[in-house]
Amino acid sequence: MSAEAPRGPRAWVRWARVAVAVALVGVLAWRAGIGQLEPGAIEWGYVLLGALLVPLSILVRAYNHALLLNRPERVLSLWDAFVLAVVGVGINLVVPTGAADLAKAHWGWRVHGNPEAMVISSVLDKLTSLTALAAIGILGALVADTPALAWVAVALLVVTLLPFVAPRLVPWHLLLRVLAPGAALDAEKIAAVGRPPLLLLLWVYAVSAGAWVVTYAVMWLCCRAVGALVTPAQVLAFAPLSSLARLVPVSVAGIGVGEVTMAALLGRVGVPQDLAALAVLLSMALLVLAPGAVGAIIIARGRVREA
- Helix or strand (DSSP H, E) at 11: helix 11-32
Determine, yes or no, domain membership for 43: no
pLDDT at position 203: 96
pLDDT at position 123: 93
Determine, yes or no, domain membership for 188: yes
Maximum CA pair distance of the chain? 62
Determine, yes or no, domain membership for 56: no
Determine, yes or no, domain membership for 46: no
pLDDT at position 2: 45
Number of domains in the chain: 1
Q: Is the dihedral of CA 271, 274, 279, 281 positive or negative?
A: positive
Determine, yes or no, domain membership for 47: no
Determine, yes or no, domain membership for 42: no
CA neighbours within 13 Å on the CB side: how many for 201?
15
State the DSSP string of 81-136: HHHHHHHHHHHHTTS-TTHHHHHHHHHHHHHH--HHHHHHHHHHHHHHHHHHHHHH
Q: Is 217 strand, coil or helix?
A: helix
- C-alpha distances out from residue 244 to 37, 54, 262, 288, Å: 30, 19, 11, 15
Task: Give the Cα separation of 275 and 189 in Å (integer).
Answer: 51
Domain hosting residue 184, numbered range: 64-306
pLDDT at position 9: 56
Determine, yes or no, domain membership for 23: no
pLDDT at position 303: 53
Phi-psi group of 256: left, alpha or beta (phi > 0 → left; psi -120 to 50 → alpha; rest → beta) = left
pLDDT at position 23: 95
Task: Give the Cα separation of 93 and 289 in Å (integer).
Answer: 8
Per-10-residue mean pLDDT of the chain, 307 residues long, equals 50 83 94 87 95 97 95 89 94 82 91 92 94 89 80 90 88 92 89 91 96 96 94 87 85 88 92 95 95 92 55
Determine, yes or no, domain membership for 171: yes
